[in-house]
Amino acid sequence: MTNHHQSDEPRENPSAKIGKYCGAIDLESASGDAAGLSDSSALCDATGLLEQLLEKSPAQRMRELEQLITHTLAKALRLEATKIKADDSLISLGLDSLIGMSLRSKLEVALQTDLPNFGLKYEATVSGLARVAAESIDTPLPNTGQKAIQVPDRSLAQSKRRGRRRRSGIVALGGAHGPGAPVFCLHPVGGDLRCYDKLSRHLRSRPVYGLRSRGLDAYSEPHPSMDQMIADYSAEIQTAVPSEPICFLGWSTGGIFARELALHMTQLGRKVEALLMIDTPMPSVFEEVDLSDSSKFLSDLVTFTNYFAGNLMQIDPKILNGLSEDQALSRVLELGIRNGVLPSHATVEFLDRLISVCKQHVKILQDYSPSLSTLNSFLIRPDDPSVLGKAAGQDLASDLGWSQFNQISLHHVPGHHFTMMTSQHASSLAAKVEQLIGS
């Protein structure tokens, strides 16, 4: 590749599913460990849970994991399950590190996988925890007819329990799955899809999926180039939805990846119903980033993360300059855990992978230049455009420079570059997305 570029699935009775998975749990009567998540009471039958989830569609798996986590936490926190909403902050409801670690351990056993991102402070909602768990299950995405996934060979599920499974590159982001063309969300620099958590739950007319970045787990390496990334993502989509119309969406730098993928899919003959770029800067904003200056890169990464995490964590690059690479990573890890930016169980290895993915994505964008295209795009900008300019350290045009490459339809929603994606403004953004896709 050259550089040119139905009706909602019925909700099942929660008590029926939770009874099957959690009949052995007795959190209130357990004693001697965190909030009653006792080692003697199994969270669920690991074999039964994994096999049943493997046969479900992504939307069904998300709902059942949400139900499982809700009921488990309700007992641990001594709350009525109906009082815990999917997007509630579990920290504010009383979730502490001991309960979180116990829940994570039980789910890892049940799903036969590791959950390295489980419990991040700004992931601490039922929907966020369920999505992390759902991402560990490798099954193909169903066609948009919303049929349940069929496992052709029962031994497949059994073999997956014996060792590490190859992860699917497609992630269900939750929300209602209606009859409209599916929306595929592209990660920004760093590979994190959690920026779409709130938005996806407000999109009610169509499936919403994300494409998983390589390199964030210990079993994959970051994509070496834009061409390789787009080739892999397009292959995933061609397998998952081989003929239906599709939509692409990307927030921040994710819009650059979304645009390139949309162009590539049209070249393959696919109908791209819409391309939505949400406050997406040009790749040229990375021209001055020095990837060899690890201390400055770490400091900038922390500053960026603070916007979403709601923290004031600061790291002076001068302090890191006097440390070895391992010492610098350990220092950032220590501060990250202390300030809630990283989970208490995060490791230097995980942080190192995260930074490597960020650097590789920046390098990809430094080597990339958009080309002219006839594909019409929607550019959605926040009412307060100043934050993106400050983050980029540049004065940015209202169209962010995209009009010189293809026809752009410019729209605005409340918030700034970061808050437009959070619970405060996600419903307004979702309404705009629904309006534009349906126009």
Residue 203 domain flag: no
Residue 51 domain flag: yes
Residue 219 domain flag: no
Contacts of 175 (CB under 8 A, 6+ apart): 200, 201, 202, 203, 204, 208
Number of domains in the chain: 2
Range of the domain at 116: 6-167
Residue 115 to residue 394: CA distance in whole angstroms? 38
Same domain, 161 and 306: no
Residue 71 domain flag: yes
pLDDT tens column, 348-361? 888 888 889 999 99
CATH code of 90's domain:
1.10.1200.10
pLDDT tens column, 103-146? 776 777 677 666 655 554 345 788 878 877 877 665 444 443 43
Residue 159 domain flag: yes
Q: For residues 174 and 125, is the Cβ–Cβ distance under 8 A?
A: no
Residue 42 domain flag: yes
Q: Choose the final residue of a domain: 167, 202, 218.
A: 167
pLDDT tens column, 79-108? 888 888 887 877 777 776 567 766 776 777
Residue 267 domain flag: no
Q: Choose the final residue of a domain: 366, 395, 428.
A: 366
Nearest to 149, CA basis, from 6, 7, 9: 9
Alpha carbon distance, N-terminus to C-terminus of the chain: 31
Instruction: Indicate the pTM of the whole model.
Output: 0.67
Least confident of 89-93, 133-137, 308-312, 423-427: 308-312
Residue 10 to residue 307: CA distance in whole angstroms? 37
